[in-house]
Amino acid sequence: MLEQHIRKELEQKEILLMTHLVLGYPSFEDNRQVIAKMVEAGVELIELQIPFSEPMSDGPVILKANDDALKHGTTVAACFDVAQKICAAHPHVAFLFMTYGNIMFAHGIERFIANAKELGIRGTIIPDIPPEEGERYVNACRQQAIAPIFIFTPTNTKARLEVLANVAQGFIYCVGRRGVTGSKTSFDIELQNLIESYKSVTELPIALGFGIQEKADVDFLIGKVDIAVIGTQVLRIQERDGIDAVGDFLNSVRRSS
């Protein structure tokens, strides 16, 4: 179970790292190489995004990566194939699928989740499926012991957060500010208060994403959340400085013991 995996890791670490990449961008071979660098740097959870033509919660950097991956001919079947190899190569890492509802619906909800389980995926993040429309999705996840991960945002009321918390498993993905991925988040008392409002409605581990760009950001989150999510910044560094630089960056943000 994903939640147990996270809690076991937290017995020895102050905070966990979760990274994100778009499968097929710039290529599957690049995906494999950058994941190896992530694993070497001690990343505990990795989101594998199956590209979609309208990734509504993603900012321009990840949006472009989705678009380019699709232009290169990336398919769901190919993503499944490479995900299986990646999960087998790094069994101690928790790999998650992140994509959008249309991908899952086209594949067949139960079939998509069953296939994900068979590949070694431990959780799924589908941002555009609310609980009210996701009963089959949540049930399929529970049948396969895969965590359906839901998202808390700053615009959610407390009542809405409670609804989301009641169906979520594994951990809660918490958004640190309004808007899409990629822009800088202010790590200040306002964010701390937002995190406290999130934590007040759930006992699941808390992951904080959107806008983490440097070691100081991760350090700020120690003791406040369980997982720091770094997505766009990793992709920027890979594009600008190459795959080796991703490993160097993640080593630099990992707090020394």
Predicted pLDDT of residue 180: 41
Predicted pLDDT of residue 181: 45
Cite the beta strand spans of 120-252 per DSSP E: 123-125, 147-149, 151-152, 172-175, 206-209, 227-230
Residue 44 among the catalytic residues: no
DSSP letter at 186 equals P
Residue 239 among the catalytic residues: no
For the chain, which domains are there? Answer: 2-251 (3.20.20.70)
pTM here?
0.94
10-residue averages of pLDDT along the chain (257 residues): 97 96 97 98 97 82 92 96 98 97 96 98 96 96 98 95 97 75 62 94 96 91 96 94 97 74
| CA-closest candidate to residue 48, choices 82, 7, 15, 91 | 82
Contacts of 31 (CB under 8 A, 6+ apart): 21, 23, 24, 25, 48, 82, 86
How many residues comprise the chain? 257
Predicted pLDDT of residue 179: 43
Active-site hit among 9, 58, 217, 226: 58
Active-site hit among 9, 47, 217, 226: 47
Predicted pLDDT of residue 60: 87
